[in-house]
Structure 1
Amino acid sequence: MNRMIIVAALALATVLPAAAQDKMQLRIGTEGAYPPFNYFDSAGNLVGFDIDIAKALCDEMNAECTFVTQDWDGIIPALLANKFDAIIASMSMTPARDEIVDFTDKYYNTPPAIAVPKDSSLADASPESMADIILGAQSSTTHANYAEKFFPDTELRRYGTPEEYKLDLQSGRIDAAIDDSTVLSTWVNSEDGACCKILEVLKNDPIIHGPGAGIAVREEDTELKEKFNTAIAAIRANGVYKQINDKHFDIDVYGD
Protein backbone atom coordinates (compact mmCIF):
# COMPACT_ATOMS: atom_id res chain seq x y z
CA MET A 1 0.00 0.00 0.00
CA ASN A 2 2.81 2.41 0.94
CA ARG A 3 4.54 1.65 -2.35
CA MET A 4 1.35 2.45 -4.28
CA ILE A 5 1.01 5.80 -2.45
CA ILE A 6 4.62 6.71 -3.28
CA VAL A 7 4.16 5.78 -6.94
CA ALA A 8 0.95 7.83 -7.14
CA ALA A 9 2.65 10.81 -5.49
CA LEU A 10 5.55 10.63 -7.94
CA ALA A 11 3.15 10.45 -10.87
CA LEU A 12 1.25 13.50 -9.61
CA ALA A 13 4.49 15.43 -9.12
CA THR A 14 5.38 14.65 -12.74
CA VAL A 15 1.99 15.81 -14.09
CA LEU A 16 1.66 19.09 -12.16
CA PRO A 17 4.78 20.84 -13.55
CA ALA A 18 3.77 19.83 -17.07
CA ALA A 19 0.32 21.35 -16.54
CA ALA A 20 1.89 24.54 -15.22
CA GLN A 21 4.15 24.74 -18.26
CA ASP A 22 1.13 24.43 -20.56
CA LYS A 23 -0.34 27.67 -19.13
CA MET A 24 0.14 30.60 -21.51
CA GLN A 25 2.83 33.00 -20.26
CA LEU A 26 2.18 36.69 -21.00
CA ARG A 27 4.09 39.86 -20.18
CA ILE A 28 1.86 42.92 -19.94
CA GLY A 29 3.39 46.35 -20.51
CA THR A 30 1.91 49.32 -18.65
CA GLU A 31 3.03 52.80 -17.60
CA GLY A 32 2.50 52.70 -13.84
CA ALA A 33 2.13 56.50 -13.64
CA TYR A 34 -1.43 57.19 -14.79
CA PRO A 35 -3.88 57.11 -11.86
CA PRO A 36 -6.59 55.89 -11.56
CA PHE A 37 -5.87 53.55 -14.48
CA ASN A 38 -2.36 52.28 -13.71
CA TYR A 39 -0.10 53.45 -10.88
CA PHE A 40 1.80 52.40 -7.77
CA ASP A 41 0.02 52.76 -4.45
CA SER A 42 1.67 53.87 -1.21
CA ALA A 43 2.77 50.28 -0.52
CA GLY A 44 4.50 50.04 -3.90
CA ASN A 45 1.84 47.79 -5.47
CA LEU A 46 0.87 48.22 -9.12
CA VAL A 47 -2.86 48.97 -9.07
CA GLY A 48 -5.66 50.63 -11.02
CA PHE A 49 -8.42 49.92 -13.51
CA ASP A 50 -6.03 48.82 -16.29
CA ILE A 51 -4.30 46.42 -13.90
CA ASP A 52 -7.54 44.85 -12.66
CA ILE A 53 -8.83 44.50 -16.23
CA ALA A 54 -5.55 42.88 -17.28
CA LYS A 55 -5.71 40.39 -14.40
CA ALA A 56 -9.34 39.53 -15.22
CA LEU A 57 -8.49 38.97 -18.89
CA CYS A 58 -5.52 36.79 -17.94
CA ASP A 59 -7.75 34.71 -15.65
CA GLU A 60 -10.32 34.37 -18.44
CA MET A 61 -7.60 33.21 -20.87
CA ASN A 62 -6.03 30.90 -18.26
CA ALA A 63 -2.79 32.81 -18.71
CA GLU A 64 0.05 33.44 -16.29
CA CYS A 65 0.66 37.18 -16.57
CA THR A 66 3.43 39.40 -15.27
CA PHE A 67 3.58 43.20 -15.52
CA VAL A 68 6.41 45.29 -16.94
CA THR A 69 6.38 49.06 -16.36
CA GLN A 70 7.66 51.32 -19.10
CA ASP A 71 7.78 55.10 -19.62
CA TRP A 72 4.96 56.19 -21.89
CA ASP A 73 7.16 57.69 -24.62
CA GLY A 74 8.89 54.35 -25.17
CA ILE A 75 6.03 51.93 -24.61
CA ILE A 76 5.29 51.08 -28.27
CA PRO A 77 8.99 50.70 -29.18
CA ALA A 78 9.36 48.39 -26.16
CA LEU A 79 6.47 46.22 -27.41
CA LEU A 80 8.06 46.00 -30.85
CA ALA A 81 11.38 45.10 -29.23
CA ASN A 82 9.67 42.14 -27.51
CA LYS A 83 10.09 43.50 -23.97
CA PHE A 84 6.48 42.46 -23.38
CA ASP A 85 3.64 40.84 -25.32
CA ALA A 86 0.81 43.38 -24.98
CA ILE A 87 0.19 46.92 -23.78
CA ILE A 88 -2.66 47.52 -21.33
CA ALA A 89 -2.12 51.16 -20.42
CA SER A 90 -5.15 53.25 -21.44
CA MET A 91 -3.84 53.53 -24.98
CA SER A 92 -6.23 55.21 -27.42
CA MET A 93 -6.56 53.33 -30.70
CA THR A 94 -5.53 56.13 -33.01
CA PRO A 95 -5.06 55.69 -36.78
CA ALA A 96 -1.37 56.61 -36.44
CA ARG A 97 -0.74 53.95 -33.78
CA ASP A 98 -2.77 51.42 -35.73
CA GLU A 99 -0.19 51.65 -38.51
CA ILE A 100 2.50 50.40 -36.12
CA VAL A 101 0.69 47.94 -33.82
CA ASP A 102 -2.56 46.00 -33.85
CA PHE A 103 -5.39 46.66 -31.41
CA THR A 104 -8.09 44.58 -29.76
CA ASP A 105 -11.65 45.74 -29.34
CA LYS A 106 -11.98 48.66 -26.92
CA TYR A 107 -12.19 48.06 -23.20
CA TYR A 108 -13.19 51.62 -22.27
CA ASN A 109 -13.83 55.01 -23.83
CA THR A 110 -13.91 58.28 -21.88
CA PRO A 111 -13.65 61.88 -23.13
CA PRO A 112 -10.91 64.46 -22.44
CA ALA A 113 -11.33 67.45 -20.14
CA ILE A 114 -9.65 70.68 -19.10
CA ALA A 115 -8.67 71.35 -15.47
CA VAL A 116 -7.86 74.82 -14.10
CA PRO A 117 -7.16 76.39 -10.70
CA LYS A 118 -10.31 77.11 -8.72
CA ASP A 119 -9.69 80.86 -8.99
CA SER A 120 -9.13 80.75 -12.76
CA SER A 121 -10.74 83.51 -14.81
CA LEU A 122 -11.34 81.14 -17.75
CA ALA A 123 -15.07 80.90 -18.48
CA ASP A 124 -14.96 77.98 -20.90
CA ALA A 125 -12.67 75.88 -23.07
CA SER A 126 -13.36 77.56 -26.37
CA PRO A 127 -10.36 78.31 -28.61
CA GLU A 128 -10.94 82.03 -27.99
CA SER A 129 -10.94 81.67 -24.21
CA MET A 130 -7.92 79.36 -24.28
CA ALA A 131 -5.85 81.68 -26.48
CA ASP A 132 -2.63 83.09 -24.99
CA ILE A 133 -2.62 80.83 -21.93
CA ILE A 134 -0.18 78.02 -21.04
CA LEU A 135 -1.75 74.55 -21.27
CA GLY A 136 -0.06 71.43 -19.90
CA ALA A 137 -0.38 67.94 -21.36
CA GLN A 138 1.49 64.66 -21.20
CA SER A 139 3.73 64.27 -24.24
CA SER A 140 3.02 61.69 -26.95
CA THR A 141 -0.67 61.53 -26.01
CA THR A 142 -3.94 62.12 -27.80
CA HIS A 143 -4.56 64.99 -25.39
CA ALA A 144 -1.47 66.85 -26.57
CA ASN A 145 -2.60 66.20 -30.17
CA TYR A 146 -6.09 67.50 -29.35
CA ALA A 147 -4.63 70.71 -27.90
CA GLU A 148 -2.51 71.27 -31.01
CA LYS A 149 -5.54 70.91 -33.27
CA PHE A 150 -8.24 72.77 -31.34
CA PHE A 151 -6.23 75.38 -29.40
CA PRO A 152 -3.81 76.74 -32.03
CA ASP A 153 -3.22 80.02 -30.16
CA THR A 154 -2.47 78.32 -26.85
CA GLU A 155 1.08 77.70 -25.63
CA LEU A 156 1.30 73.94 -25.16
CA ARG A 157 3.75 72.67 -22.56
CA ARG A 158 4.49 68.94 -22.70
CA TYR A 159 5.35 66.76 -19.70
CA GLY A 160 6.71 63.26 -19.28
CA THR A 161 4.05 62.24 -16.74
CA PRO A 162 0.72 63.61 -15.48
CA GLU A 163 2.31 64.18 -12.07
CA GLU A 164 4.57 66.83 -13.57
CA TYR A 165 1.79 68.94 -15.12
CA LYS A 166 -0.26 68.60 -11.91
CA LEU A 167 2.61 70.08 -9.89
CA ASP A 168 2.96 72.99 -12.33
CA LEU A 169 -0.80 73.63 -12.30
CA GLN A 170 -0.78 73.64 -8.49
CA SER A 171 2.10 76.10 -8.38
CA GLY A 172 0.69 78.44 -11.05
CA ARG A 173 3.39 77.78 -13.64
CA ILE A 174 0.68 76.83 -16.16
CA ASP A 175 -2.91 78.02 -16.51
CA ALA A 176 -4.67 74.76 -17.39
CA ALA A 177 -4.14 71.09 -18.13
CA ILE A 178 -5.74 68.65 -20.56
CA ASP A 179 -6.10 64.92 -19.96
CA ASP A 180 -8.69 62.17 -19.71
CA SER A 181 -11.78 63.43 -17.87
CA THR A 182 -11.66 60.50 -15.43
CA VAL A 183 -8.00 61.13 -14.63
CA LEU A 184 -8.61 64.81 -13.97
CA SER A 185 -11.87 64.27 -12.06
CA THR A 186 -10.22 61.73 -9.77
CA TRP A 187 -7.39 64.18 -9.12
CA VAL A 188 -9.44 67.34 -8.43
CA ASN A 189 -11.68 65.37 -6.08
CA SER A 190 -8.68 64.21 -4.07
CA GLU A 191 -6.73 66.08 -1.39
CA ASP A 192 -3.79 66.49 -3.77
CA GLY A 193 -5.97 68.16 -6.39
CA ALA A 194 -7.89 70.48 -4.05
CA CYS A 195 -6.34 73.45 -5.85
CA CYS A 196 -8.22 72.82 -9.03
CA LYS A 197 -11.51 72.09 -10.77
CA ILE A 198 -12.81 70.76 -14.08
CA LEU A 199 -13.41 73.65 -16.44
CA GLU A 200 -15.09 71.62 -19.18
CA VAL A 201 -15.46 68.06 -20.42
CA LEU A 202 -14.67 67.96 -24.13
CA LYS A 203 -15.91 65.75 -26.95
CA ASN A 204 -13.79 62.94 -28.31
CA ASP A 205 -12.45 63.58 -31.77
CA PRO A 206 -12.73 60.31 -33.75
CA ILE A 207 -9.58 61.01 -35.78
CA ILE A 208 -7.46 61.94 -32.75
CA HIS A 209 -8.85 59.55 -30.15
CA GLY A 210 -10.12 56.66 -32.26
CA PRO A 211 -12.87 54.38 -30.87
CA GLY A 212 -11.46 54.19 -27.34
CA ALA A 213 -8.72 52.49 -25.36
CA GLY A 214 -7.62 49.05 -26.55
CA ILE A 215 -4.91 46.51 -25.94
CA ALA A 216 -1.94 46.85 -28.30
CA VAL A 217 -0.15 43.77 -29.64
CA ARG A 218 2.41 43.26 -32.39
CA GLU A 219 0.79 43.04 -35.84
CA GLU A 220 1.83 39.42 -36.31
CA ASP A 221 0.21 38.30 -33.03
CA THR A 222 -3.27 37.84 -34.48
CA GLU A 223 -4.03 34.79 -32.34
CA LEU A 224 -3.24 36.68 -29.14
CA LYS A 225 -5.41 39.58 -30.28
CA GLU A 226 -8.39 37.26 -30.81
CA LYS A 227 -7.86 35.64 -27.41
CA PHE A 228 -7.99 39.08 -25.81
CA ASN A 229 -11.13 39.97 -27.79
CA THR A 230 -12.85 36.78 -26.66
CA ALA A 231 -11.84 37.49 -23.07
CA ILE A 232 -13.06 41.11 -23.23
CA ALA A 233 -16.46 39.93 -24.46
CA ALA A 234 -16.56 37.27 -21.74
CA ILE A 235 -15.89 39.61 -18.80
CA ARG A 236 -18.40 42.08 -20.22
CA ALA A 237 -21.01 39.30 -20.32
CA ASN A 238 -20.32 37.60 -16.98
CA GLY A 239 -20.34 40.73 -14.81
CA VAL A 240 -16.62 40.82 -13.99
CA TYR A 241 -16.12 44.00 -16.01
CA LYS A 242 -18.92 45.79 -14.11
CA GLN A 243 -17.42 44.75 -10.77
CA ILE A 244 -14.06 46.25 -11.76
CA ASN A 245 -15.72 49.37 -13.20
CA ASP A 246 -17.73 49.96 -10.03
CA LYS A 247 -14.67 49.39 -7.83
CA HIS A 248 -12.88 52.32 -9.47
CA PHE A 249 -15.57 54.65 -10.83
CA ASP A 250 -19.11 55.90 -10.22
CA ILE A 251 -19.74 56.10 -13.98
CA ASP A 252 -19.70 53.51 -16.77
CA VAL A 253 -16.35 54.05 -18.49
CA TYR A 254 -17.06 51.59 -21.30
CA GLY A 255 -18.84 54.33 -23.25
CA ASP A 256 -20.99 54.08 -26.34
Structure 2
Amino acid sequence: MKRILAAAMIVAATFGIAEAKEWTKVRIGTEGAYPPFNYFDSDNQLQGFDVDIAKALCDEMKVECEFVAQDWEGIIPALIANKYDAIIASMSITPERQEKVDFTEKYYSTPPALIAPSDSELSATDPGTLEGKTIGAQASTTHATFLEDVYKNSTIKLYGTQDEANLDLASGRLDAVAADSVVLSEWLKTDDGACCKMVGPMENDPQYFGDGAGIAVRKGEDDLREMFNKAIAAIRENGTYEKIEAKYFDFSVY
Protein backbone atom coordinates (compact mmCIF):
# COMPACT_ATOMS: atom_id res chain seq x y z
CA MET A 1 0.00 0.00 0.00
CA LYS A 2 2.82 2.41 0.88
CA ARG A 3 4.43 1.69 -2.47
CA ILE A 4 1.14 2.37 -4.26
CA LEU A 5 0.71 5.71 -2.45
CA ALA A 6 4.30 6.67 -3.21
CA ALA A 7 3.80 5.83 -6.88
CA ALA A 8 0.60 7.90 -6.95
CA MET A 9 2.45 10.87 -5.48
CA ILE A 10 5.15 10.57 -8.14
CA VAL A 11 2.51 10.46 -10.90
CA ALA A 12 0.75 13.49 -9.43
CA ALA A 13 3.98 15.45 -9.31
CA THR A 14 4.91 14.40 -12.83
CA PHE A 15 1.61 15.44 -14.38
CA GLY A 16 1.17 18.63 -12.38
CA ILE A 17 -1.70 17.52 -10.15
CA ALA A 18 -1.34 19.79 -7.14
CA GLU A 19 -3.29 21.90 -4.74
CA ALA A 20 -4.63 25.18 -6.10
CA LYS A 21 -2.22 28.08 -5.85
CA GLU A 22 -2.94 30.66 -3.19
CA TRP A 23 -3.03 33.91 -5.16
CA THR A 24 -1.88 37.03 -3.30
CA LYS A 25 -0.59 38.95 -6.34
CA VAL A 26 -1.91 38.86 -9.90
CA ARG A 27 0.03 40.32 -12.81
CA ILE A 28 -2.28 41.79 -15.43
CA GLY A 29 -1.24 42.10 -19.06
CA THR A 30 -2.86 44.85 -21.14
CA GLU A 31 -2.02 46.74 -24.31
CA GLY A 32 -2.20 50.42 -23.37
CA ALA A 33 -3.08 51.51 -26.93
CA TYR A 34 -6.83 50.93 -27.20
CA PRO A 35 -8.73 53.92 -25.75
CA PRO A 36 -11.11 54.18 -23.99
CA PHE A 37 -10.53 50.62 -22.80
CA ASN A 38 -6.79 50.77 -22.13
CA TYR A 39 -4.30 53.57 -22.80
CA PHE A 40 -1.49 55.63 -21.29
CA ASP A 41 -2.34 59.12 -20.00
CA SER A 42 -0.09 62.21 -20.15
CA ASP A 43 1.72 60.99 -17.01
CA ASN A 44 2.43 57.62 -18.68
CA GLN A 45 -0.02 55.85 -16.38
CA LEU A 46 -2.32 53.11 -17.60
CA GLN A 47 -5.95 54.18 -17.66
CA GLY A 48 -9.23 53.01 -19.17
CA PHE A 49 -12.24 50.78 -18.67
CA ASP A 50 -10.18 47.57 -18.75
CA VAL A 51 -7.76 48.97 -16.18
CA ASP A 52 -10.48 50.15 -13.80
CA ILE A 53 -12.30 46.82 -14.11
CA ALA A 54 -9.06 44.96 -13.40
CA LYS A 55 -8.42 47.05 -10.27
CA ALA A 56 -11.99 46.45 -9.06
CA LEU A 57 -11.63 42.71 -9.62
CA CYS A 58 -8.32 42.59 -7.75
CA ASP A 59 -9.90 44.50 -4.85
CA GLU A 60 -12.79 42.04 -4.82
CA MET A 61 -10.38 39.08 -4.86
CA LYS A 62 -8.22 40.77 -2.19
CA VAL A 63 -5.04 40.40 -4.21
CA GLU A 64 -2.32 42.85 -5.22
CA CYS A 65 -2.71 43.98 -8.82
CA GLU A 66 0.36 44.66 -11.01
CA PHE A 67 0.01 45.83 -14.62
CA VAL A 68 2.31 44.90 -17.48
CA ALA A 69 2.04 46.67 -20.86
CA GLN A 70 2.44 44.41 -23.88
CA ASP A 71 2.10 44.91 -27.65
CA TRP A 72 -1.09 43.28 -28.89
CA GLU A 73 0.46 40.80 -31.32
CA GLY A 74 2.57 39.25 -28.55
CA ILE A 75 0.01 39.43 -25.78
CA ILE A 76 -1.03 35.74 -25.74
CA PRO A 77 2.53 34.35 -26.19
CA ALA A 78 3.68 36.54 -23.28
CA LEU A 79 0.90 35.14 -21.07
CA ILE A 80 1.90 31.58 -21.94
CA ALA A 81 5.55 32.49 -21.23
CA ASN A 82 4.54 33.62 -17.71
CA LYS A 83 5.24 37.32 -18.23
CA TYR A 84 1.94 37.93 -16.43
CA ASP A 85 -0.96 35.87 -15.08
CA ALA A 86 -4.00 37.22 -16.93
CA ILE A 87 -4.91 39.37 -19.91
CA ILE A 88 -7.47 42.13 -19.38
CA ALA A 89 -7.31 43.97 -22.68
CA SER A 90 -10.69 43.82 -24.46
CA MET A 91 -9.88 40.35 -25.82
CA SER A 92 -12.84 38.69 -27.54
CA ILE A 93 -13.58 35.12 -26.52
CA THR A 94 -13.15 33.15 -29.75
CA PRO A 95 -12.70 29.42 -30.49
CA GLU A 96 -9.27 30.06 -32.04
CA ARG A 97 -7.99 31.79 -28.90
CA GLN A 98 -9.58 29.15 -26.66
CA GLU A 99 -7.21 26.63 -28.20
CA LYS A 100 -4.33 28.52 -26.58
CA VAL A 101 -5.76 30.03 -23.38
CA ASP A 102 -8.74 29.73 -21.05
CA PHE A 103 -11.28 32.52 -20.62
CA THR A 104 -13.55 33.80 -17.89
CA GLU A 105 -17.14 34.74 -18.56
CA LYS A 106 -17.47 37.99 -20.54
CA TYR A 107 -17.07 41.32 -18.75
CA TYR A 108 -18.36 43.41 -21.66
CA SER A 109 -19.61 43.05 -25.22
CA THR A 110 -19.84 45.65 -28.00
CA PRO A 111 -20.35 45.16 -31.76
CA PRO A 112 -17.92 45.92 -34.61
CA ALA A 113 -18.38 49.00 -36.78
CA LEU A 114 -16.94 50.84 -39.77
CA ILE A 115 -15.85 54.46 -40.12
CA ALA A 116 -14.91 56.42 -43.25
CA PRO A 117 -13.91 59.97 -44.27
CA SER A 118 -16.70 62.51 -43.84
CA ASP A 119 -16.99 63.06 -47.60
CA SER A 120 -17.16 59.34 -48.35
CA GLU A 121 -20.18 58.06 -50.25
CA LEU A 122 -20.16 54.85 -48.17
CA SER A 123 -23.49 54.31 -46.44
CA ALA A 124 -23.40 50.55 -45.81
CA THR A 125 -20.87 48.08 -44.42
CA ASP A 126 -21.58 44.87 -46.35
CA PRO A 127 -18.81 43.23 -48.45
CA GLY A 128 -20.46 44.19 -51.74
CA THR A 129 -20.48 47.88 -50.87
CA LEU A 130 -16.81 47.74 -49.83
CA GLU A 131 -15.68 45.93 -52.99
CA GLY A 132 -12.48 47.52 -54.33
CA LYS A 133 -12.02 49.64 -51.19
CA THR A 134 -9.01 49.62 -48.87
CA ILE A 135 -10.01 48.88 -45.28
CA GLY A 136 -7.71 49.25 -42.27
CA ALA A 137 -7.74 47.27 -39.02
CA GLN A 138 -5.43 46.40 -36.16
CA ALA A 139 -3.43 43.24 -36.82
CA SER A 140 -4.11 40.04 -34.85
CA THR A 141 -7.64 41.17 -33.93
CA THR A 142 -11.03 39.61 -34.56
CA HIS A 143 -11.78 42.53 -36.88
CA ALA A 144 -8.71 41.77 -39.01
CA THR A 145 -9.63 38.09 -39.31
CA PHE A 146 -13.24 38.95 -40.16
CA LEU A 147 -12.17 41.36 -42.90
CA GLU A 148 -9.65 38.96 -44.43
CA ASP A 149 -12.15 36.09 -44.50
CA VAL A 150 -15.32 37.91 -45.53
CA TYR A 151 -14.23 41.01 -47.49
CA LYS A 152 -12.38 39.07 -50.19
CA ASN A 153 -12.80 41.76 -52.85
CA SER A 154 -11.43 44.54 -50.65
CA THR A 155 -7.80 45.35 -49.88
CA ILE A 156 -7.17 44.79 -46.18
CA LYS A 157 -4.33 46.78 -44.61
CA LEU A 158 -3.24 45.84 -41.08
CA TYR A 159 -1.55 47.97 -38.42
CA GLY A 160 0.29 47.43 -35.17
CA THR A 161 -2.14 49.62 -33.20
CA GLN A 162 -5.64 50.98 -33.67
CA ASP A 163 -4.33 54.56 -33.60
CA GLU A 164 -2.08 53.84 -36.59
CA ALA A 165 -5.05 52.62 -38.61
CA ASN A 166 -7.17 55.60 -37.60
CA LEU A 167 -4.44 58.10 -38.49
CA ASP A 168 -3.95 56.55 -41.93
CA LEU A 169 -7.69 56.99 -42.48
CA ALA A 170 -7.40 60.64 -41.42
CA SER A 171 -4.46 61.06 -43.82
CA GLY A 172 -6.51 59.80 -46.76
CA ARG A 173 -4.64 56.51 -47.23
CA LEU A 174 -7.66 54.33 -46.43
CA ASP A 175 -11.28 54.20 -47.51
CA ALA A 176 -12.50 52.85 -44.17
CA VAL A 177 -11.46 51.39 -40.82
CA ALA A 178 -13.11 48.54 -38.92
CA ALA A 179 -12.91 48.13 -35.13
CA ASP A 180 -14.98 48.00 -31.98
CA SER A 181 -17.90 50.43 -32.23
CA VAL A 182 -17.11 52.10 -28.89
CA VAL A 183 -13.43 52.59 -29.74
CA LEU A 184 -14.33 54.17 -33.07
CA SER A 185 -17.06 56.36 -31.57
CA GLU A 186 -14.62 57.72 -29.00
CA TRP A 187 -11.99 58.46 -31.64
CA LEU A 188 -14.50 60.35 -33.79
CA LYS A 189 -14.90 62.79 -30.87
CA THR A 190 -11.20 63.74 -30.98
CA ASP A 191 -9.54 66.40 -33.12
CA ASP A 192 -8.03 63.74 -35.38
CA GLY A 193 -11.39 62.02 -35.67
CA ALA A 194 -13.13 65.16 -36.90
CA CYS A 195 -12.13 64.05 -40.40
CA CYS A 196 -14.41 61.10 -40.39
CA LYS A 197 -17.87 59.66 -39.78
CA MET A 198 -19.51 56.50 -38.53
CA VAL A 199 -20.78 54.43 -41.46
CA GLY A 200 -22.54 51.90 -39.27
CA PRO A 201 -22.36 48.56 -37.46
CA MET A 202 -20.93 45.48 -39.14
CA GLU A 203 -22.28 41.93 -38.91
CA ASN A 204 -21.58 40.76 -35.36
CA ASP A 205 -20.79 37.18 -36.37
CA PRO A 206 -20.09 35.05 -33.25
CA GLN A 207 -17.77 32.88 -35.34
CA TYR A 208 -15.37 35.83 -35.46
CA PHE A 209 -16.34 38.07 -32.55
CA GLY A 210 -17.16 35.39 -30.00
CA ASP A 211 -19.31 35.95 -26.95
CA GLY A 212 -17.85 39.24 -25.73
CA ALA A 213 -14.58 40.26 -24.12
CA GLY A 214 -13.22 37.99 -21.40
CA ILE A 215 -10.16 37.63 -19.19
CA ALA A 216 -7.58 35.17 -20.54
CA VAL A 217 -5.50 32.94 -18.25
CA ARG A 218 -3.08 30.11 -18.94
CA LYS A 219 -4.56 26.70 -19.71
CA GLY A 220 -5.31 24.74 -16.57
CA GLU A 221 -5.29 27.66 -14.11
CA ASP A 222 -8.92 27.05 -13.23
CA ASP A 223 -8.51 28.45 -9.72
CA LEU A 224 -7.56 31.90 -11.02
CA ARG A 225 -10.23 31.79 -13.73
CA GLU A 226 -12.93 30.98 -11.17
CA MET A 227 -11.65 33.72 -8.85
CA PHE A 228 -12.14 36.20 -11.68
CA ASN A 229 -15.58 34.79 -12.55
CA LYS A 230 -16.78 35.20 -8.96
CA ALA A 231 -15.33 38.72 -8.82
CA ILE A 232 -17.03 39.72 -12.09
CA ALA A 233 -20.37 38.52 -10.71
CA ALA A 234 -19.73 40.35 -7.44
CA ILE A 235 -18.90 43.77 -8.94
CA ARG A 236 -21.93 43.54 -11.19
CA GLU A 237 -24.08 42.73 -8.16
CA ASN A 238 -22.71 45.37 -5.79
CA GLY A 239 -22.83 48.31 -8.22
CA THR A 240 -19.09 48.72 -8.80
CA TYR A 241 -19.34 47.67 -12.44
CA GLU A 242 -22.12 50.18 -13.10
CA LYS A 243 -20.04 53.03 -11.61
CA ILE A 244 -17.03 52.18 -13.78
CA GLU A 245 -19.24 51.81 -16.85
CA ALA A 246 -20.83 55.24 -16.26
CA LYS A 247 -17.35 56.81 -16.06
CA TYR A 248 -16.69 55.91 -19.70
CA PHE A 249 -20.02 55.32 -21.43
CA ASP A 250 -23.57 56.66 -21.43
CA PHE A 251 -24.95 53.25 -22.42
CA SER A 252 -24.55 49.66 -21.28
CA VAL A 253 -21.57 47.73 -22.65
CA TYR A 254 -22.63 44.45 -21.02
With normalisation by structure 1, the TM-score equals 0.89
- Which segments of 5 or more consecutive residues in structure 2 lack a partner in the other structure? 1-21
Match of 1:167 in 2: 167
Q: Deviations over 1:165-210 (max 9, x none)?
A: 1111001011100000000000002222110111011231111111
Q: Deviations over 1:72-126 (max 9, x none)?
A: 0000000000000000000000000001100000000000000101001212112
Count of residue correspondences: 233
**Rounded Cα–Cα distance in structure 1 between residues aligned with 2:202 and 2:51:** 26
Match of 1:114 in 2: 114
Deviation for aligned residue 1:63: 0.6
Match of 1:17 in 2: none
Match of 1:196 in 2: 196
Residue type at the aligned position of 1:70? Q
Task: Give me the identity figure in percent.
Answer: 59
Match of 2:56 in 1: 56
Deviation for aligned residue 1:146: 1.4
Q: What aligned pairs does 1:27-106 form with structure 2 within 5 A after superposition?
A: 27-106=27-106
Please tell me whether residue 208 in structure 1 is matched to residue 208 in structure 2.
yes
Match of 2:156 in 1: 156
Deviation for aligned residue 1:23: 7.0
Residue type at the aligned position of 1:249? F
Structure possessing the higher radius of gyration over alpha carbons = 1
- Which segments of 5 or more consecutive residues in structure 1 lack a partner in the other structure? 1-21
Q: Deviations over 1:195-234 (max 9, x none)?
A: 0111011231111111000000001210000000000000
Match of 1:221 in 2: 221
Match of 1:244 in 2: 244
Please tell me whether residue 147 in structure 1 is matched to residue 142 in structure 2.
no
Backbone CA RMSD of aligned residues: 1.0
**Rounded Cα–Cα distance in structure 2 between residues aligned with 1:203 and 1:231:** 31
**Rounded Cα–Cα distance in structure 1 between residues aligned with 2:224 and 2:194:** 42
Match of 1:183 in 2: 183
Please tell me whether residue 123 in structure 1 is matched to residue 123 in structure 2.
yes
**Rounded Cα–Cα distance in structure 2 between residues aligned with 1:81 and 1:23:** 18
Q: 3-state SS of the aligned residue for 2:106?
A: strand
Q: 3-state SS of the aligned residue for 1:130?
A: coil
Q: Is 137-146 or 199-208 further displaced after alignment?
A: 199-208
Q: 1:192 to 1:109 in 2, by over 3 A?
A: same
Q: 3-state SS of the aligned residue for 2:179?
A: strand
**Rounded Cα–Cα distance in structure 2 between residues aligned with 1:238 and 1:133:** 47
With normalisation by structure 2, the TM-score equals 0.90
Q: Deviations over 1:5-51 (max 9, x none)?
A: xxxxxxxxxxxxxxxxx871110000000000000012211000000
**Rounded Cα–Cα distance in structure 2 between residues aligned with 1:27 and 1:70:** 12
Q: What aligned pairs does 1:229-240 form with structure 2 within 5 A after superposition?
A: 229-240=229-240
Runs of 4+ in structure 1 over 4 Å off? none
Q: 1:80 to 1:23 in 2, by over 3 A?
A: closer
**Rounded Cα–Cα distance in structure 2 between residues aligned with 1:108 and 1:149:** 25
**Rounded Cα–Cα distance in structure 2 between residues aligned with 1:216 and 1:23:** 16
